[in-house]
Structure 1
Amino acid sequence: MVLRRQVDLRNEGRALQRFTENFHHGKLRIEFPKVIAFNRRVLCETFEAGDHFDAMLEKKEKSKESAEVRHKIAVLGAQGFLQMAFVDNFIHGDLHPGNILIRFNEKNDQHLPKNPLQKFMDKLRWLLRRNSVDESREPTLVLLDAGIAVSQTPENVQRFKKMFKYIIENRGYEAGQFFLTYEANRQKCRDSDAFCRDLKALVDRARRDSFHRTINVTSVFNEMFSILWKHRVLIDSSFTSVMLSMMVLEGIGRTLDPKLDLFECAKPYLLNVFFE
């Protein structure tokens, strides 16, 4: 089904249009190729200049001067994904390094109208500066290949937010009870109390370890999947897809900034559930 949707390029064209609209009025410097025209077999979009993200990951030089730039890029990627997951409910489902470009623009000038000469000069400046580090410039991420896009039901979005809330607030037992709100899980889970206690132990351990380092989303989710399987607790497939995408994103971000904490980044997006 996923491959069939990717072959029909109308889906990617519509997804690019929706992503562009979702991020057009926001403060995040995240962009997508602009769609010119599309049909089932052909998609025409703008060329986007930038350095491939995987090239940056392969660089072994990690000078002190570039640490702030890498931190900005990691946080920007995290914020972009969290907006997709918690605000727009429309998530790029294929965010690997090969689908991400990085470019640097002057501060506060990206939304100003420009004539062809100004655009040419921007590209020329980009070519001259691409191998240098200038922390006065702000990174922009360009996300490509939007053929796979994931949406959840509104109910699942709220459930996903609540799961984050319980982990952040160190309420692992309640997280277990939250998973058991599905009727099918109440019927299949053999020992509800043991399941909730296992999740409580996981969250307690993650929060305890966070005193020494940031919470590792990948480790938490990996162990959570094991606990869910052990107790035969089901979760929606779209829920799983978002969790897996977040794990991939964290791996990319932590390559640039080992201190990246997705749970901390998520707090501004969870305000509506913190007061429930």
Structure 2
Amino acid sequence: MEYFLFQVDNFIHADMHPGNILVRLSQNSTSRKRLFKSKPHVIFLDVGMTAELSQGDRINLISFFKAVATRDGRTAAESALRLSKRQNCPNPKAFIEEVEEAFTFWGTPEGDLVHPADCMQQLLEKVRRHRVNIDGNVCTVMVTTLVLEGWQRKLDPGYNVMQTLQTLLLRADWAKSLSYTIDGLMGP
């Protein structure tokens, strides 16, 4: 899951299934002991179906995922409304209020029992009900993320995808601010 969330070249694999994933072990991992100490490489195959996000789409999608990970309902709703260049939501204010209300519940002890993937599914249901447009490439990334999260939940139920998302987004913010600081210090 973390590999998917940290795409290197901004290409998103849109046809993810077990037949398209290869795990390559190092050549000298013949013994069982070496196998568990080795660092396998995960390779995504069959990139016939891919999506590439524009810079604006990436910024909006990162803002959306960051808001979901930090349980900021208003920002999540506002970010969702920016996930299409042609937004036709008839009542953006009602959408924002409903999403905020849901996030407020998810932040309670009772709401904490709801799995993050179920929160995301409920959020996308609100997107559908309020007729919020999401561009195709952005939707591809969101659906692929949910598919991977479902696999991850079955393979390792203890893995916290929201914690990983928060860590990666924080790291991205830190790296961006560090780069900005270095550029400012080294610039003319």
TM bucket normalised to smaller: 0.7 to 0.9
Which of 136, 160, 165 aligns to 2:61? It is 160
Aligned to 1:257: 156
Structure 2 residue aligned with 1:202: 102
Aligned to 2:42: 141
Q: Which of 65, 70, 94 is 2:15 aligned to?
A: 94
Map of 1:150 onto structure 2: 51
Query: What amino acid sits opposite 2:152 in the alignment?
Result: G
Larger radius of gyration: 1
- Cα pair distance change 1:148/1:173, threshold 3 Å: same
- For 2:116 and 2:151, how far apart are their aligned partners in 1? 13
Aligned to 1:83: 6
Alignment of 1:1-276 (within 5 A): 78-84=1-7, 87-105=8-26, 122=28, 125-126=29-30, 129=32, 135-181=36-82, 184-185=86-87, 188-208=88-108, 211-212=112-113, 215-217=115-117, 219-271=118-170, 272=172
Q: Cα gap change, 1:211/1:139 in structure 2, threshold over 3 Å: closer, same or farther?
A: farther
Alpha-carbon RMSD: 3.0
Counterpart in 1 of 2:180? Answer: none
Q: So what's the TM-score if we normalise by structure 1?
A: 0.54
Determine if contact 1:221/1:243 at 8 Å carries over to the other structure: no
Mapped contact 1:164–1:263 kept (Cα < 8 A): no
| Structure 1 gap ranges (5+) | 1-77, 106-118
Secondary structure of 1:250's aligned partner: helix
Q: Distance in 2 between matches of 1:179 and 1:267?
A: 18
Identity %: 27
Distance 1:270 1:142 in 2: 23
Asked whether the equivalents of residues 97 and 252 of structure 1 are also in contact (C-alpha less than 8 Å), the reply is no
TM-score for the superposition, normalised by structure 2: 0.75
Partner AA of 1:227 in structure 2: K
